[in-house]
Structure 1
Amino acid sequence: MKRLNKNYNGGIESTHWKIADLDFSTIDLAQVALDENLFYLVTSASFIESGSSLYTQNLVEYYRDEPEIEDWLRNQWEVEELQHGQALRAYVNYVWPEFDWETGYRHFFKEYSDHCKVELLAPTKGLEMVAHCAVEASTAALYRALSRCTTEPILKEMASLIGRDEVSHYKYFYRYFRRFRKEEGLRRHRILWTLCHRMLEIKNQDTSCALRHVVQIKSPSHANDAAYIKNISKKMNEMVRRHLSADMTIKMVIRPLDLPPMIESMVTYPLTQIMNKFFLR
Protein backbone atom coordinates (compact mmCIF):
# COMPACT_ATOMS: atom_id res chain seq x y z
CA MET A 1 0.00 0.00 0.00
CA LYS A 2 1.75 3.14 -1.21
CA ARG A 3 0.74 6.77 -1.43
CA LEU A 4 1.60 9.00 -4.38
CA ASN A 5 3.04 12.38 -3.49
CA LYS A 6 3.69 15.32 -5.69
CA ASN A 7 7.40 15.67 -6.36
CA TYR A 8 8.46 19.31 -6.09
CA ASN A 9 11.46 18.87 -8.36
CA GLY A 10 9.53 19.09 -11.60
CA GLY A 11 6.20 17.36 -11.10
CA ILE A 12 7.42 13.75 -11.23
CA GLU A 13 5.36 11.62 -8.89
CA SER A 14 7.02 9.29 -6.42
CA THR A 15 5.84 6.68 -3.95
CA HIS A 16 5.90 7.25 -0.23
CA TRP A 17 5.56 4.75 2.57
CA LYS A 18 2.50 4.44 4.80
CA ILE A 19 2.07 3.28 8.38
CA ALA A 20 -0.11 0.47 7.03
CA ASP A 21 3.03 -0.93 5.39
CA LEU A 22 4.41 -1.72 8.86
CA ASP A 23 3.06 -4.93 10.39
CA PHE A 24 3.26 -4.28 14.13
CA SER A 25 1.83 -7.73 14.85
CA THR A 26 5.21 -9.22 13.91
CA ILE A 27 7.03 -7.31 16.68
CA ASP A 28 8.69 -9.56 19.25
CA LEU A 29 7.55 -7.69 22.35
CA ALA A 30 9.88 -9.65 24.60
CA GLN A 31 12.79 -8.36 22.54
CA VAL A 32 12.08 -4.63 22.94
CA ALA A 33 9.55 -3.96 25.72
CA LEU A 34 12.15 -4.06 28.50
CA ASP A 35 14.66 -1.84 26.69
CA GLU A 36 14.33 1.39 28.69
CA ASN A 37 16.77 3.38 26.54
CA LEU A 38 14.78 2.49 23.45
CA PHE A 39 11.55 3.44 25.14
CA TYR A 40 12.77 6.91 26.08
CA LEU A 41 14.36 7.51 22.70
CA VAL A 42 11.34 6.46 20.62
CA THR A 43 8.77 8.11 22.88
CA SER A 44 10.65 11.43 23.04
CA ALA A 45 10.95 11.40 19.26
CA SER A 46 7.22 10.68 18.93
CA PHE A 47 6.40 13.78 20.99
CA ILE A 48 8.65 16.06 18.94
CA GLU A 49 7.49 14.72 15.58
CA SER A 50 3.84 14.96 16.62
CA GLY A 51 4.32 18.69 17.24
CA SER A 52 5.12 19.25 13.56
CA SER A 53 1.89 21.12 12.85
CA LEU A 54 2.95 23.86 15.26
CA TYR A 55 6.23 24.78 13.59
CA THR A 56 4.79 24.15 10.13
CA GLN A 57 2.18 26.83 10.80
CA ASN A 58 4.95 29.19 11.85
CA LEU A 59 6.94 28.54 8.69
CA VAL A 60 3.89 28.83 6.45
CA GLU A 61 3.19 32.24 7.96
CA TYR A 62 6.87 33.23 7.63
CA TYR A 63 6.97 32.24 3.93
CA ARG A 64 3.41 33.25 3.05
CA ASP A 65 4.68 35.41 0.17
CA GLU A 66 6.57 32.44 -1.33
CA PRO A 67 3.85 30.27 -2.98
CA GLU A 68 6.12 27.37 -3.98
CA ILE A 69 7.66 27.10 -0.52
CA GLU A 70 4.31 27.47 1.23
CA ASP A 71 2.83 24.74 -0.98
CA TRP A 72 5.69 22.34 -0.22
CA LEU A 73 5.55 23.05 3.51
CA ARG A 74 1.80 22.41 3.68
CA ASN A 75 1.40 19.53 1.27
CA GLN A 76 4.57 17.49 1.67
CA TRP A 77 6.75 18.46 4.61
CA GLU A 78 3.97 18.75 7.21
CA VAL A 79 2.21 15.63 5.94
CA GLU A 80 5.36 13.53 6.17
CA GLU A 81 6.47 14.96 9.52
CA LEU A 82 3.08 14.27 11.06
CA GLN A 83 3.20 10.76 9.65
CA HIS A 84 6.51 10.27 11.46
CA GLY A 85 4.83 11.24 14.73
CA GLN A 86 1.85 8.98 14.08
CA ALA A 87 4.08 6.01 13.24
CA LEU A 88 6.26 6.48 16.32
CA ARG A 89 3.22 6.95 18.53
CA ALA A 90 1.66 3.76 17.12
CA TYR A 91 4.87 1.91 17.90
CA VAL A 92 4.94 3.22 21.48
CA ASN A 93 1.29 2.33 22.02
CA TYR A 94 1.84 -1.19 20.70
CA VAL A 95 5.04 -2.00 22.57
CA TRP A 96 4.41 -0.02 25.77
CA PRO A 97 0.58 0.15 26.05
CA GLU A 98 0.77 1.01 29.76
CA PHE A 99 2.33 4.40 28.94
CA ASP A 100 -0.25 7.21 28.86
CA TRP A 101 0.99 8.79 25.63
CA GLU A 102 -1.91 11.22 25.24
CA THR A 103 -1.47 12.83 28.66
CA GLY A 104 2.30 13.06 28.32
CA TYR A 105 2.06 14.62 24.88
CA ARG A 106 -0.57 17.13 26.00
CA HIS A 107 1.71 18.39 28.77
CA PHE A 108 4.70 18.41 26.42
CA PHE A 109 2.85 20.36 23.74
CA LYS A 110 1.77 23.03 26.22
CA GLU A 111 5.41 23.76 27.11
CA TYR A 112 6.79 23.13 23.63
CA SER A 113 4.46 25.69 22.08
CA ASP A 114 6.25 28.42 24.04
CA HIS A 115 9.44 27.60 22.11
CA CYS A 116 7.72 27.57 18.71
CA LYS A 117 6.64 31.07 17.79
CA VAL A 118 7.12 33.01 14.57
CA GLU A 119 9.02 35.75 16.39
CA LEU A 120 11.62 33.17 17.49
CA LEU A 121 12.52 32.17 13.94
CA ALA A 122 15.77 33.32 12.34
CA PRO A 123 15.86 37.01 11.31
CA THR A 124 15.88 36.35 7.56
CA LYS A 125 14.25 33.78 5.29
CA GLY A 126 17.62 32.48 4.15
CA LEU A 127 18.89 32.00 7.68
CA GLU A 128 15.72 30.16 8.69
CA MET A 129 16.21 27.84 5.73
CA VAL A 130 19.79 27.10 6.79
CA ALA A 131 18.59 26.58 10.37
CA HIS A 132 16.29 23.87 9.07
CA CYS A 133 19.20 22.31 7.20
CA ALA A 134 20.76 21.79 10.64
CA VAL A 135 17.49 20.38 12.00
CA GLU A 136 17.01 17.91 9.16
CA ALA A 137 20.66 16.84 9.20
CA SER A 138 20.47 16.18 12.95
CA THR A 139 17.19 14.28 12.80
CA ALA A 140 18.35 12.23 9.82
CA ALA A 141 21.42 11.25 11.84
CA LEU A 142 19.26 10.33 14.84
CA TYR A 143 17.02 8.01 12.84
CA ARG A 144 19.92 6.40 11.02
CA ALA A 145 21.48 5.69 14.41
CA LEU A 146 18.16 4.38 15.76
CA SER A 147 17.87 2.05 12.79
CA ARG A 148 21.34 0.67 13.52
CA CYS A 149 21.00 0.36 17.29
CA THR A 150 17.97 -1.94 17.26
CA THR A 151 17.60 -5.46 15.93
CA GLU A 152 13.78 -5.30 16.02
CA PRO A 153 12.81 -5.38 12.30
CA ILE A 154 9.78 -3.06 12.36
CA LEU A 155 11.51 -0.30 14.32
CA LYS A 156 14.62 -0.72 12.18
CA GLU A 157 12.58 -0.30 9.01
CA MET A 158 10.51 2.58 10.35
CA ALA A 159 13.58 4.51 11.55
CA SER A 160 15.26 3.95 8.20
CA LEU A 161 12.20 5.25 6.32
CA ILE A 162 11.93 8.33 8.54
CA GLY A 163 15.66 8.97 8.15
CA ARG A 164 15.32 8.92 4.37
CA ASP A 165 12.45 11.39 4.56
CA GLU A 166 14.58 13.73 6.66
CA VAL A 167 17.38 13.62 4.09
CA SER A 168 14.84 14.45 1.38
CA HIS A 169 13.55 17.37 3.44
CA TYR A 170 17.11 18.60 3.94
CA LYS A 171 17.56 18.77 0.16
CA TYR A 172 14.54 21.03 -0.20
CA PHE A 173 15.59 23.37 2.60
CA TYR A 174 19.10 23.48 1.17
CA ARG A 175 17.83 24.31 -2.32
CA TYR A 176 15.64 27.13 -1.03
CA PHE A 177 18.49 28.36 1.18
CA ARG A 178 20.79 28.70 -1.85
CA ARG A 179 18.27 30.97 -3.52
CA PHE A 180 17.89 33.19 -0.47
CA ARG A 181 21.65 33.24 0.17
CA LYS A 182 22.17 35.08 -3.11
CA GLU A 183 19.23 37.42 -2.57
CA GLU A 184 20.27 38.30 0.99
CA GLY A 185 24.03 38.26 0.47
CA LEU A 186 24.54 35.97 3.46
CA ARG A 187 28.11 35.69 4.70
CA ARG A 188 29.65 32.55 6.15
CA HIS A 189 29.89 33.84 9.72
CA ARG A 190 26.12 34.43 9.87
CA ILE A 191 25.41 31.03 8.37
CA LEU A 192 27.76 29.31 10.81
CA TRP A 193 26.25 31.09 13.81
CA THR A 194 22.74 30.09 12.72
CA LEU A 195 23.73 26.44 12.22
CA CYS A 196 25.33 26.20 15.65
CA HIS A 197 22.52 28.08 17.39
CA ARG A 198 19.78 25.88 15.95
CA MET A 199 21.61 22.64 16.77
CA LEU A 200 21.97 23.76 20.39
CA GLU A 201 18.27 24.60 20.47
CA ILE A 202 17.41 21.08 19.33
CA LYS A 203 19.56 19.60 22.05
CA ASN A 204 18.74 21.93 24.92
CA GLN A 205 15.08 22.72 24.27
CA ASP A 206 13.28 20.23 22.04
CA THR A 207 14.88 16.99 23.21
CA SER A 208 15.13 17.91 26.88
CA CYS A 209 11.53 19.14 26.94
CA ALA A 210 10.24 15.91 25.41
CA LEU A 211 12.28 13.70 27.73
CA ARG A 212 11.13 15.53 30.86
CA HIS A 213 7.49 14.96 29.96
CA VAL A 214 8.07 11.31 29.12
CA VAL A 215 9.68 10.83 32.55
CA GLN A 216 6.80 12.68 34.19
CA ILE A 217 4.40 9.96 32.98
CA LYS A 218 6.77 6.99 33.10
CA SER A 219 8.26 7.71 36.54
CA PRO A 220 6.26 10.47 38.28
CA SER A 221 8.38 10.28 41.43
CA HIS A 222 11.40 11.40 39.38
CA ALA A 223 9.61 14.12 37.40
CA ASN A 224 11.55 16.89 39.16
CA ASP A 225 14.78 14.94 39.65
CA ALA A 226 17.25 16.70 37.34
CA ALA A 227 20.04 14.19 38.05
CA TYR A 228 17.77 11.25 37.22
CA ILE A 229 16.66 12.81 33.93
CA LYS A 230 20.22 13.77 33.05
CA ASN A 231 21.33 10.17 33.56
CA ILE A 232 18.61 8.90 31.23
CA SER A 233 19.63 11.49 28.64
CA LYS A 234 23.26 10.42 28.92
CA LYS A 235 22.39 6.76 28.34
CA MET A 236 20.24 7.66 25.33
CA ASN A 237 22.98 9.81 23.85
CA GLU A 238 25.61 7.13 24.37
CA MET A 239 23.45 4.64 22.50
CA VAL A 240 22.95 7.09 19.63
CA ARG A 241 26.63 8.05 19.50
CA ARG A 242 27.74 4.42 19.16
CA HIS A 243 25.74 4.14 15.96
CA LEU A 244 26.09 7.68 14.66
CA SER A 245 27.53 8.53 11.24
CA ALA A 246 29.02 11.73 12.57
CA ASP A 247 31.14 12.47 9.52
CA MET A 248 28.13 12.25 7.20
CA THR A 249 26.12 14.48 9.52
CA ILE A 250 28.89 17.06 9.67
CA LYS A 251 29.12 17.15 5.88
CA MET A 252 25.39 17.85 5.68
CA VAL A 253 25.54 20.52 8.39
CA ILE A 254 28.49 22.44 6.93
CA ARG A 255 27.42 22.14 3.30
CA PRO A 256 25.63 25.53 3.38
CA LEU A 257 28.96 27.17 4.26
CA ASP A 258 30.14 26.31 0.74
CA LEU A 259 33.72 25.81 1.90
CA PRO A 260 36.58 25.10 -0.54
CA PRO A 261 37.18 21.31 -0.72
CA MET A 262 40.54 21.51 1.04
CA ILE A 263 39.13 23.55 3.94
CA GLU A 264 36.12 21.25 4.22
CA SER A 265 38.42 18.23 4.47
CA MET A 266 40.49 19.95 7.15
CA VAL A 267 37.53 20.82 9.39
CA THR A 268 35.46 17.65 8.97
CA TYR A 269 37.51 15.48 11.34
CA PRO A 270 37.68 17.90 14.30
CA LEU A 271 34.00 18.73 13.88
CA THR A 272 33.20 15.03 13.85
CA GLN A 273 34.91 14.68 17.23
CA ILE A 274 32.90 17.61 18.54
CA MET A 275 29.71 16.02 17.23
CA ASN A 276 30.51 12.78 19.06
CA LYS A 277 31.04 14.70 22.31
CA PHE A 278 27.87 16.68 21.64
CA PHE A 279 25.87 13.44 21.86
CA LEU A 280 27.45 12.62 25.22
CA ARG A 281 26.18 15.77 26.94
Structure 2
Amino acid sequence: MAMRYARCKGGASWSADNIPYDALARDRVRDDTHLFYTVASASFIEITSDLYTYNLIEYFRHDSEVVEWLQNVWQKEELQHGEALRRYVRTAWPDFDWDAAYRHFLAEYTPLCTVDQLAPTRALEMAARCVVETGTAGFYRMLSEQSREPVLKQLAARISADEVRHYKHFYRYFLRYQAHERPSRAAVLRILWSRASEIEAEDAFHAFKSVFLVRNPETEFQRSDYTAYVDGISRLAKNHFPLGMAVKMLLKPLGLNPVLGRAILPAATSAIRFIFMRHTGSPTPSSGVGNFDKRRQAPGASADGERPSRLL
Protein backbone atom coordinates (compact mmCIF):
# COMPACT_ATOMS: atom_id res chain seq x y z
CA MET A 1 0.00 0.00 0.00
CA ALA A 2 2.79 2.44 0.90
CA MET A 3 4.59 1.79 -2.38
CA ARG A 4 1.38 2.27 -4.36
CA TYR A 5 0.86 5.56 -2.56
CA ALA A 6 4.42 6.64 -3.36
CA ARG A 7 4.06 5.81 -7.04
CA CYS A 8 0.70 7.47 -7.50
CA LYS A 9 2.17 10.61 -5.94
CA GLY A 10 5.12 10.63 -8.32
CA GLY A 11 7.37 8.54 -6.08
CA ALA A 12 10.05 6.03 -6.95
CA SER A 13 9.12 3.53 -9.64
CA TRP A 14 11.75 0.99 -8.65
CA SER A 15 12.63 -1.32 -5.77
CA ALA A 16 15.69 -3.25 -4.64
CA ASP A 17 14.28 -6.25 -6.49
CA ASN A 18 14.85 -4.37 -9.76
CA ILE A 19 18.59 -4.17 -9.17
CA PRO A 20 20.49 -7.04 -10.92
CA TYR A 21 22.76 -7.99 -8.02
CA ASP A 22 23.58 -11.29 -9.69
CA ALA A 23 25.31 -9.31 -12.46
CA LEU A 24 27.59 -7.44 -10.00
CA ALA A 25 31.18 -7.40 -11.26
CA ARG A 26 32.89 -8.24 -7.97
CA ASP A 27 36.35 -8.18 -9.53
CA ARG A 28 35.92 -4.43 -10.09
CA VAL A 29 35.08 -3.58 -6.46
CA ARG A 30 36.43 -6.41 -4.31
CA ASP A 31 39.80 -4.72 -3.61
CA ASP A 32 38.45 -1.16 -3.50
CA THR A 33 38.73 -0.28 0.18
CA HIS A 34 37.57 3.29 -0.24
CA LEU A 35 34.46 2.23 -2.11
CA PHE A 36 33.72 -0.41 0.50
CA TYR A 37 33.71 2.14 3.32
CA THR A 38 31.65 4.53 1.22
CA VAL A 39 28.84 2.17 0.29
CA ALA A 40 28.69 0.38 3.66
CA SER A 41 28.53 3.67 5.56
CA ALA A 42 25.89 5.04 3.19
CA SER A 43 23.76 1.94 3.71
CA PHE A 44 23.74 2.56 7.48
CA ILE A 45 22.63 6.18 7.15
CA GLU A 46 19.93 5.46 4.58
CA ILE A 47 18.47 2.49 6.42
CA THR A 48 18.24 4.51 9.64
CA SER A 49 15.77 6.91 8.05
CA ASP A 50 13.05 5.92 10.48
CA LEU A 51 14.94 7.81 13.20
CA TYR A 52 15.29 10.93 11.06
CA THR A 53 11.67 10.70 9.95
CA TYR A 54 10.43 10.40 13.52
CA ASN A 55 12.17 13.66 14.42
CA LEU A 56 10.75 15.49 11.42
CA ILE A 57 7.25 14.12 11.98
CA GLU A 58 7.39 15.26 15.59
CA TYR A 59 8.51 18.72 14.49
CA PHE A 60 5.81 19.04 11.81
CA ARG A 61 3.12 17.09 13.68
CA HIS A 62 0.49 19.81 13.13
CA ASP A 63 0.91 19.69 9.35
CA SER A 64 -0.95 16.63 8.09
CA GLU A 65 0.22 17.01 4.48
CA VAL A 66 3.89 17.09 5.44
CA VAL A 67 3.50 14.24 7.92
CA GLU A 68 1.70 12.08 5.36
CA TRP A 69 4.41 12.65 2.74
CA LEU A 70 7.22 12.00 5.22
CA GLN A 71 5.64 8.76 6.41
CA ASN A 72 4.33 7.34 3.16
CA VAL A 73 6.87 8.53 0.61
CA TRP A 74 10.11 9.99 1.96
CA GLN A 75 10.73 7.44 4.72
CA LYS A 76 9.76 4.48 2.53
CA GLU A 77 12.10 5.56 -0.24
CA GLU A 78 15.01 6.33 2.08
CA LEU A 79 14.63 2.92 3.71
CA GLN A 80 14.53 1.40 0.23
CA HIS A 81 17.83 3.12 -0.55
CA GLY A 82 19.32 1.60 2.58
CA GLU A 83 18.06 -1.89 1.78
CA ALA A 84 19.33 -1.68 -1.80
CA LEU A 85 22.77 -0.54 -0.61
CA ARG A 86 22.85 -3.22 2.09
CA ARG A 87 22.20 -5.89 -0.53
CA TYR A 88 24.97 -4.43 -2.65
CA VAL A 89 27.44 -4.58 0.25
CA ARG A 90 26.50 -8.15 1.10
CA THR A 91 26.91 -9.20 -2.52
CA ALA A 92 30.14 -7.31 -3.24
CA TRP A 93 31.86 -7.99 0.10
CA PRO A 94 30.23 -11.13 1.56
CA ASP A 95 32.85 -11.54 4.31
CA PHE A 96 31.80 -8.29 5.99
CA ASP A 97 29.45 -8.69 8.99
CA TRP A 98 26.98 -5.95 8.07
CA ASP A 99 24.58 -6.75 10.92
CA ALA A 100 27.23 -6.49 13.64
CA ALA A 101 28.52 -3.18 12.30
CA TYR A 102 25.02 -1.75 12.02
CA ARG A 103 24.19 -2.73 15.61
CA HIS A 104 27.26 -0.80 16.73
CA PHE A 105 26.22 2.21 14.66
CA LEU A 106 22.69 2.24 16.09
CA ALA A 107 23.95 1.98 19.68
CA GLU A 108 26.25 4.97 19.22
CA TYR A 109 24.14 7.18 16.99
CA THR A 110 20.56 6.77 18.23
CA PRO A 111 21.07 8.89 21.40
CA LEU A 112 22.47 11.71 19.24
CA CYS A 113 19.56 11.92 16.79
CA THR A 114 17.11 14.28 18.50
CA VAL A 115 14.45 16.82 17.57
CA ASP A 116 16.27 19.69 19.24
CA GLN A 117 18.94 19.53 16.53
CA LEU A 118 16.51 20.83 13.92
CA ALA A 119 16.28 24.45 12.74
CA PRO A 120 14.45 27.00 14.93
CA THR A 121 11.50 27.51 12.56
CA ARG A 122 9.59 25.28 10.13
CA ALA A 123 10.55 27.35 7.10
CA LEU A 124 14.22 27.26 8.00
CA GLU A 125 14.12 23.51 8.61
CA MET A 126 12.64 23.01 5.15
CA ALA A 127 15.47 25.15 3.75
CA ALA A 128 17.94 23.01 5.67
CA ARG A 129 16.38 19.86 4.18
CA CYS A 130 16.94 21.36 0.73
CA VAL A 131 20.65 21.52 1.56
CA VAL A 132 20.71 17.89 2.68
CA GLU A 133 18.90 16.68 -0.44
CA THR A 134 21.28 18.74 -2.59
CA GLY A 135 24.25 17.03 -0.99
CA THR A 136 22.85 13.52 -1.29
CA ALA A 137 21.68 14.04 -4.88
CA GLY A 138 25.15 15.27 -5.81
CA PHE A 139 26.89 12.49 -3.88
CA TYR A 140 24.97 9.70 -5.60
CA ARG A 141 25.28 11.34 -9.00
CA MET A 142 29.05 11.47 -8.52
CA LEU A 143 29.02 7.86 -7.30
CA SER A 144 27.11 6.76 -10.39
CA GLU A 145 29.18 8.70 -12.91
CA GLN A 146 32.53 7.60 -11.48
CA SER A 147 31.73 3.97 -10.72
CA ARG A 148 33.41 1.31 -12.85
CA GLU A 149 30.90 -1.28 -11.65
CA PRO A 150 27.66 -1.31 -13.73
CA VAL A 151 25.27 -2.41 -10.97
CA LEU A 152 26.44 0.31 -8.59
CA LYS A 153 26.30 2.83 -11.43
CA GLN A 154 22.63 1.96 -11.98
CA LEU A 155 21.74 1.88 -8.29
CA ALA A 156 23.37 5.21 -7.48
CA ALA A 157 21.69 6.89 -10.46
CA ARG A 158 18.28 5.71 -9.24
CA ILE A 159 18.95 7.02 -5.72
CA SER A 160 20.20 10.37 -7.04
CA ALA A 161 17.01 10.83 -9.04
CA ASP A 162 14.94 10.11 -5.92
CA GLU A 163 16.91 12.68 -3.92
CA VAL A 164 16.35 15.37 -6.55
CA ARG A 165 12.62 14.64 -6.38
CA HIS A 166 12.73 14.82 -2.56
CA TYR A 167 14.43 18.20 -2.84
CA LYS A 168 11.52 19.48 -4.93
CA HIS A 169 9.04 18.43 -2.24
CA PHE A 170 11.02 20.05 0.57
CA TYR A 171 11.41 23.20 -1.53
CA ARG A 172 7.66 23.34 -2.12
CA TYR A 173 7.02 23.01 1.60
CA PHE A 174 9.66 25.68 2.27
CA LEU A 175 7.77 28.11 0.05
CA ARG A 176 4.55 27.41 1.93
CA TYR A 177 6.13 28.01 5.34
CA GLN A 178 8.08 30.98 4.02
CA ALA A 179 4.85 32.70 3.03
CA HIS A 180 3.54 32.25 6.58
CA GLU A 181 6.65 32.81 8.71
CA ARG A 182 8.40 35.29 6.39
CA PRO A 183 12.03 34.62 7.39
CA SER A 184 14.49 37.19 6.16
CA ARG A 185 16.72 36.32 3.25
CA ALA A 186 19.66 36.69 5.63
CA ALA A 187 18.15 34.08 7.95
CA VAL A 188 17.67 31.67 5.05
CA LEU A 189 21.22 32.28 3.87
CA ARG A 190 22.56 31.61 7.36
CA ILE A 191 20.75 28.29 7.63
CA LEU A 192 21.86 27.26 4.13
CA TRP A 193 25.46 28.09 4.93
CA SER A 194 25.33 26.53 8.38
CA ARG A 195 23.85 23.24 7.22
CA ALA A 196 26.13 23.00 4.18
CA SER A 197 29.18 23.67 6.35
CA GLU A 198 28.56 20.89 8.86
CA ILE A 199 31.71 18.86 8.41
CA GLU A 200 31.27 16.96 11.66
CA ALA A 201 28.13 15.11 10.61
CA GLU A 202 27.69 12.67 13.47
CA ASP A 203 25.86 10.03 11.47
CA ALA A 204 28.59 9.92 8.81
CA PHE A 205 31.35 9.73 11.41
CA HIS A 206 29.72 6.97 13.45
CA ALA A 207 28.79 5.00 10.33
CA PHE A 208 32.40 5.00 9.15
CA LYS A 209 33.68 4.18 12.64
CA SER A 210 31.30 1.22 12.99
CA VAL A 211 32.26 -0.21 9.61
CA PHE A 212 35.93 0.25 10.43
CA LEU A 213 35.77 -1.46 13.83
CA VAL A 214 33.98 -4.54 12.54
CA ARG A 215 36.25 -4.81 9.51
CA ASN A 216 39.39 -4.33 11.64
CA PRO A 217 38.59 -5.98 15.02
CA GLU A 218 42.23 -6.07 16.11
CA THR A 219 42.91 -2.43 15.31
CA GLU A 220 42.14 0.56 17.52
CA PHE A 221 40.09 3.17 15.70
CA GLN A 222 41.71 6.57 15.47
CA ARG A 223 40.21 9.85 14.40
CA SER A 224 42.97 10.09 11.82
CA ASP A 225 41.50 7.07 10.01
CA TYR A 226 38.31 9.01 9.39
CA THR A 227 40.18 12.20 8.53
CA ALA A 228 42.31 10.41 5.94
CA TYR A 229 39.18 8.94 4.43
CA VAL A 230 37.45 12.31 4.26
CA ASP A 231 40.53 13.79 2.58
CA GLY A 232 40.33 11.10 -0.08
CA ILE A 233 36.73 11.94 -0.85
CA SER A 234 37.48 15.65 -0.97
CA ARG A 235 40.16 15.04 -3.58
CA LEU A 236 37.71 13.07 -5.68
CA ALA A 237 34.95 15.65 -5.26
CA LYS A 238 37.25 18.42 -6.42
CA ASN A 239 37.05 17.05 -9.95
CA HIS A 240 33.81 15.11 -10.01
CA PHE A 241 31.18 16.62 -7.70
CA PRO A 242 28.32 18.13 -9.82
CA LEU A 243 28.92 21.67 -8.63
CA GLY A 244 26.69 23.36 -11.20
CA MET A 245 23.69 21.33 -10.08
CA ALA A 246 24.47 22.02 -6.41
CA VAL A 247 24.77 25.78 -6.94
CA LYS A 248 21.38 26.01 -8.64
CA MET A 249 19.67 23.91 -5.97
CA LEU A 250 21.22 25.78 -3.03
CA LEU A 251 20.48 29.25 -4.38
CA LYS A 252 16.83 28.52 -5.10
CA PRO A 253 15.49 29.04 -1.52
CA LEU A 254 16.97 32.56 -1.53
CA GLY A 255 14.40 33.63 -4.12
CA LEU A 256 16.80 35.85 -6.04
CA ASN A 257 15.58 37.68 -9.12
CA PRO A 258 17.37 36.71 -12.36
CA VAL A 259 19.55 39.82 -12.51
CA LEU A 260 20.74 39.49 -8.92
CA GLY A 261 21.14 35.75 -9.31
CA ARG A 262 23.47 36.19 -12.29
CA ALA A 263 25.41 38.90 -10.49
CA ILE A 264 26.20 36.80 -7.43
CA LEU A 265 26.63 33.50 -9.30
CA PRO A 266 30.46 33.66 -9.47
CA ALA A 267 30.80 34.43 -5.76
CA ALA A 268 28.16 31.86 -4.84
CA THR A 269 29.88 29.22 -6.96
CA SER A 270 33.21 29.92 -5.28
CA ALA A 271 31.65 29.71 -1.83
CA ILE A 272 29.78 26.52 -2.59
CA ARG A 273 32.88 25.02 -4.19
CA PHE A 274 34.77 25.75 -0.97
CA ILE A 275 32.08 24.13 1.15
CA PHE A 276 31.52 21.03 -0.94
CA MET A 277 35.13 20.45 -1.93
CA ARG A 278 36.11 20.65 1.72
CA HIS A 279 33.04 19.14 3.36
CA THR A 280 31.76 16.68 0.81
CA GLY A 281 33.95 15.05 3.07
CA SER A 282 31.45 13.39 4.92
CA PRO A 283 32.14 9.93 3.57
CA THR A 284 28.50 9.38 2.94
CA PRO A 285 25.37 11.41 2.40
CA SER A 286 24.60 12.82 5.83
CA SER A 287 21.02 12.78 7.05
CA GLY A 288 21.33 16.36 8.19
CA VAL A 289 19.70 15.38 11.48
CA GLY A 290 22.73 15.47 13.69
CA ASN A 291 25.65 17.72 14.43
CA PHE A 292 26.34 17.85 11.08
CA ASP A 293 43.43 4.30 4.72
CA LYS A 294 45.97 2.56 2.97
CA ARG A 295 46.88 0.13 5.75
CA ARG A 296 43.30 -1.18 5.93
CA GLN A 297 41.82 -3.90 3.77
CA ALA A 298 38.39 -4.21 2.23
CA PRO A 299 36.75 -7.57 2.74
CA GLY A 300 38.27 -9.93 0.19
CA ALA A 301 41.05 -7.51 -0.74
CA SER A 302 44.60 -8.68 -1.27
CA ALA A 303 46.99 -7.97 1.58
CA ASP A 304 48.84 -5.36 -0.48
CA GLY A 305 45.69 -3.85 -1.96
CA GLU A 306 45.92 -0.12 -2.49
CA ARG A 307 43.16 2.12 -1.23
CA PRO A 308 42.07 3.82 -4.45
CA SER A 309 40.18 7.07 -4.66
CA ARG A 310 36.53 6.41 -4.15
CA LEU A 311 34.59 5.08 -7.12
CA LEU A 312 37.57 4.89 -9.48
Q: Distance in 2 between matches of 1:15 and 1:38?
A: 25
Count of residue correspondences? 276
Q: Which residue of 1 aligns with 2:110?
A: 113
Q: Aligned letter for 1:40?
A: Y
Q: Are the counterparts in 1 of residues 25 and 150 from structure 2 also a CA contact under 8 Å?
A: no
Unaligned runs of 5+ in 2: 283-312
What SS class does the counterpart of residue 220 from structure 1 fall into? coil
* Contact 1:241/1:279 (8 A) holds in 2: no
Q: Distance in 1 between matches of 2:46 and 2:72?
A: 16
Partner of 1:249: 246
Trace 1:144-183 onto structure 2 (pairs within 5 A): 144-183=141-180
1:203: Cα distance to partner?
4.9
Paired residue secondary structure (1:186): coil
Provide runs of 4+ in structure 1 moved above 6 Å.
none
Counterpart among 214, 234, 237 of residue 237 in structure 1:
234
Is the Cα contact below 8 Å between 1:147 and 1:155 reproduced in 2?
A: yes
The reply on whether 1:92 has 2:89 as its aligned counterpart is: yes
Alignment-mate amino acid for residue 164 of structure 2? V
Report the AA paired with residue 279 of structure 1.
T
The amino acid of 1:189's aligned partner reads: A
The corresponding residue for 1:22 is: 19
With over 3 angstroms needed to count, the CA separation of the structure-2 counterparts of 1:182 and 1:160, relative to structure 1, is same
Larger RCO (CA under 8 A, 6+ residues apart) = 2
- Contact 1:146/1:240 (CA < 8 Å) preserved in 2? no
Q: What is the RMSD computed on CA atoms of the aligned residues?
A: 2.0
2: CA distance between counterparts of 1:68 and 1:202? 32
Alpha-carbon contact 1:49-1:81 (below 8 Å) kept:
yes
Distance 1:55 1:104, change over 3 A: same
Distance 1:140 1:69, change over 3 A: same
Contact 2:199 2:281 in 1 (8 A): no
| Identical-residue share of aligned pairs (%) | 38
Q: 2:48 — aligned with what? A: 51
- Structure with bigger helix share is 1
- Give, as a single letter, the amino acid of the residue that structure 2 aligns with 1:176: Y
TM-score by length of 1: 0.91
Task: Indicate conservation of the 8 Å contact 1:135/1:202, yes or no.
Answer: no
* SS of equivalent to 2:197: helix
Please list every run of 5 or more consecutive structure 1 residues that lacks an aligned counterpart in the other structure.
none
Counterpart in 1 of 2:277? Answer: 276
Matches within 5 A, 1:185-264: 185-201=182-198, 203-264=200-261
After TM superposition, the structure 1 stretch with the greater mean CA deviation from structure 2, 155-164 or 21-30, is 21-30
Residue deviations 1:82-103, cap 9 Å, x none?
Answer: 0000000010011111111111
2:309 maps to which residue?
none
